[in-house]
Amino acid sequence: MTRIHDAAARGFASDNYSGIHPDVLAAIADANDGHQVAYGDDVYTARLRDVFESHFGDGIEVFPVFNGTGANVTALQSMLPRWGAVIAASTAHINVDEGGAPERVAGIKILNVPTDDGKLTPDLIDREAWGWGDEHRAQPLAVSITQSSELGTVYTPGEIAAIADHAHSRGMRLHLDGARVANAAAALDLPLRALTRDVGVDVMNFGGTKNGAMLGEAVVVLDPAASDGLLFLRKLNMQLASKMRFVSAQLIALLAGDLYLRNARHANAMAQRLRDAVAAGLSDGTIHGVGFTQPTEANAVFATLPEGVADRLRESFRFYDWDAGRREVRWMCSFDTHPEDVDAFVAELARLTGPR
C-alpha cells in the first residue's frame, strides 16, 4: 500500500497519535511466520508471563488484552461483586473517557471524588468510603488510581502505600490504571515493582499502546486473592485475542529489556523541554499570557492560553482543549516526539502571543 499520510507530521494531542516503535514492529514480524496455538496458548504469551515475573515477582497472573478500556473494565469486574462500587478521582479515565463502559458493560458503580491534581489521598477516599452494610448504597469495595494521572501528575511509592493501607484497612482492594505507568517509573527512576506490588497494589493494568506498541495492554494480578474469574471475563468482555501472540510479542519487546523505560524517558524529557521553553519565553518576554495549571511530572503539559490562541496554534499543531471554559489545554509528548517538534511548537506559540 502507498503511504497516504505525512510521515513528518507530529503534534501534541495524544501519545495515542504516535506510531509503532521499530523494535515493536520488528517483534510483530518476527512472531509472524508459521502457526501458533490460538487464544494465548502460544509460546510468546508463555514467555510474556516470565517477562512480567522478572519485573513483578513470582505468583502473579498476566492477561493480555486489546486496549485500556477493556483492561480497566475487565480488571475491575474481576475485583468486585455485582453490588460493588469503585472509588476513583473525578478525572479518572474510567469516569470520564470510557463511554460509561464500567457502568454499562461491567455494571460497576463509580464513586468519583473531585481532586485538584488528579490524585487520590486517604482523606479524599473517605468522602465516598462509607455505607457498608446499607442495602440502599453500592458498596465501596475497591479504589482505582491512575499512574501517571490524567493530569500528568505522578504518585510516589509512599503515596500509593498510604492509599493501599487505607483501602485494605477498610476491606477495599486497590486497582492501578497503568496506561502510562512506564512514564511514572521513568519519572521516579524506580522499577515497576517499587510503585505497584511492593506498595500494596492488588491488580494493575500495564499500558503498551501509549508507549510504542501498536495495540495491547495487560491486566496483571499482583494478589490472586483480589481477583476472580479473569479467565472468563476477558472473553465475556470481548478482550480475548485469538492471535494473542502478536499482542504478547509487542509487550515482550517493551519489557524484556529497557525499551519501555527508554521510550517513557524520552516522552517525559520532551514534555519537560516544552515546559522549560515556554517558561523561558515567559521570562524573557517572547511569550505572553500563558500559565501552567499542573506540574509537569511525566509526559504532559497543562497550560492556559490567551483568548483565541489555541485555535490559531492548532492550525499548525494538533492538541486538545482540557477545560475550554478557562482556556486550559493539554500538550502530550510521545516516544517519537522530536526536539525539533518542540522547538517549532514553542516558536509558533511565541509568534502568536508575543509583542504585536
In a structure prediction context, what are the per-residue pLDDT tens digits for the chain, which is 356 residues long? 888 998 888 999 999 999 999 999 999 999 999 999 999 999 999 999 999 999 999 999 999 999 999 999 999 999 999 999 999 999 999 999 999 999 999 999 999 999 999 999 999 999 999 999 999 999 999 999 999 999 999 999 999 999 999 999 999 999 999 999 999 999 999 999 999 999 999 999 999 999 999 999 999 999 999 999 999 999 999 999 999 999 999 999 999 999 999 999 999 999 999 999 999 999 999 999 999 999 999 999 999 999 999 999 999 999 999 999 999 999 999 999 999 999 999 999 999 998 75
Best CA proximity match to 58, nearest among 70, 48, 50, 46? 50
**Beta-carbon count within 10 A of 19 CB:** 15
Catalogue all structural domains in the chain, each as residue range(s) with its CATH number.
22-257 (3.40.640.10), 260-353 (3.90.1150.10)
**H, E, C per residue of the chain:** CCCCCCCCCCCCCCCCCCCCCHHHHHHHHHCCCCCCCCCCCCHHHHHHHHHHHHHHCCCCEEEEECCHHHHHHHHHHHHCCCCEEEEEECCCHHHHCCCCHHHHCCCCEEEEECCCCCCCCHHHHCCCCCCCCCCCCCEEEEEEEECCCCCCCCCCHHHHHHHHHHHHHCCCEEEEEECCHHHHHHHHCCCHHHHCHHHCCCEEEEECHHHCCCCCEEEEECCHHHCCCHHHHHHHCCCCCCCCHHHHHHHHHHHCCCHHHHHHHHHHHHHHHHHHHHHHHHHHCCCCCCEECCCCCCCEEEEECCCCHHHHHCCCCCCEEEEHHHCEEEEECCCCCCHHHHHHHHHHHHHHHCCC
Burial of 14 (0-12, 13-18, 19+ CB in 10 A): middle
**Non-local CB neighbours of 326 within 8 Å, separated by 6+ positions:** 304
